[in-house]
Amino acid sequence: MNKESIVIQLRKLAELRGICFEEEELSEAVEMAQFRIFPKGYVIRSVGDKAEEVAVVLNGLVRSYYIDGDGNDITRGFAFNDGKRLRKPHL
């Protein structure tokens, strides 16, 4: 994936969220970014981890979940590379 296509995807994501960025700002962000490919099932961040990075899904999906006190795997939602999210309502 080249820089231009990443800038286009970021612009689309920002527009979906009602955020306005200048083209130059998006280009600078892409220049500073580190791109990684994670294998299916990889845990990007765990509960209690200090959040020092931002993750943007360029291809694929991310599932947000936690393990409750009884050991049940509870899905909170999904994030897709097109900027859409599906979330379960909080109970």
Q: What are phi and psi of 73, to 5 degrees?
A: -85, 110
3-class DSSP assignment, residue 28 = helix
User: Are the C-beta atoms of 63 and 38 separated by less than 8 Å?
Assistant: no
Structure confidence by residue, pLDDT tens digits, 49-80: 888 887 777 778 888 888 899 999 999 888 87
Grade residue 29 by pLDDT with cuts at 50, 70 and 90. confident
User: Are the C-beta atoms of 62 and 78 separated by less than 8 Å?
Assistant: yes
The amino acid that residue 26 corresponds to is L
User: How do the domains of the chain map onto residue ranges?
Assistant: 1-35, 39-91
